[in-house]
């Protein structure tokens, strides 16, 4: 029985990397359709990181960022959070809304709805990858979005999941949209029990 993220074996991490690869591929295809643009994916890097390291990786606690949070239920419980830098949101808003040179602190309700919809598509891509590989049924709640400094954006996952440990699965990926390199990062925080179920379904035992 898996008791913490730290017990994940190299094989288990490789399985999570494969989920990241497939999820990124699905996401790139879905975004290409939604934006009517060429979208290519970077090969994602999956790392086990503590919360403070994630904050530092993203540019420090004072960097303003958009966080899209999706709660997960069903066979896998936990959350997935997308950390989107301003360059990502600008391309989405320019393409879908014709809104140019808008920074994250100037978003109106329509802008936020468009970005949340993109987050919903991306979350569905990664959850779809988990389901297709494992056969597990995973339900997604309606995404919520906040724009704030990185330290504040991370408050919720820290409060909610510090009781299961101080580590998260950090997926460092990104996309090339119309030849522009766009960074995107994902925090995947299943409960330890859910992670154990997933590993067993994938034929990986960390006993």
- Render pLDDT for 128-138 as a digit per residue (tens, 0 to 9): 989 998 999 99
pLDDT of 164: 59
pLDDT of 136: 94
pLDDT of 162: 66
pLDDT of 75: 94
| Alpha-carbon distance values, 114 to 36, 174, 182, 203, 207 (Å) | 15, 19, 17, 38, 44
pLDDT of 95: 79
pLDDT of 121: 87
**pTM score of the predicted model:** 0.85
In which residue ranges of the chain is pLDDT below 50? none
Q: Give residues with Cβ within 8 angstroms of 83, minimum separation 6.
A: 58, 65, 66, 67, 150, 153, 184, 185, 186, 187
């Amino acid at each position: 029985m898996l008791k913490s993220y730290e017990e994940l074996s190299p094989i288990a991490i490789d399985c999570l990397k494969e989920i990241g690869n497939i999820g990124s591929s699905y996401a790139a295809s879905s975004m290409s359709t939604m934006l009517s643009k060429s979208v290519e994916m970077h090969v994602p890097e999956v790392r086990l990181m503590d919360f403070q390291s994630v904050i530092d990786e993203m540019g420090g606690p004072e960097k303003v960022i958009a966080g899209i949070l999706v709660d997960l239920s069903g066979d896998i419980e936990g959350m997935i959070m997308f950390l989107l830098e301003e360059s990502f949101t600008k391309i989405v808003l320019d393409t879908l809304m014709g809104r140019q040179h808008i920074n994250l602190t100037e978003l109106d309700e329509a802008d936020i709805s468009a970005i949340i919809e993109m987050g919903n598509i991306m979350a569905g891509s990664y959850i779809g990858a988990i389901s297709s590989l494992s056969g597990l049924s995973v339900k997604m709640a309606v995404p919520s979005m906040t724009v704030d400094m990185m330290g504040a954006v991370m408050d919720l996952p820290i409060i909610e999941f510090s009781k299961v440990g101080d580590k998260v699965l950090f997926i460092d990926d990104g996309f090339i949209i119309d030849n522009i390199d766009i960074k995107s990062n994902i925090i995947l925080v299943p409960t330890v029990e859910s992670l154990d179920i997933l590993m067993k379904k994938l034929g990986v035992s960390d006993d």
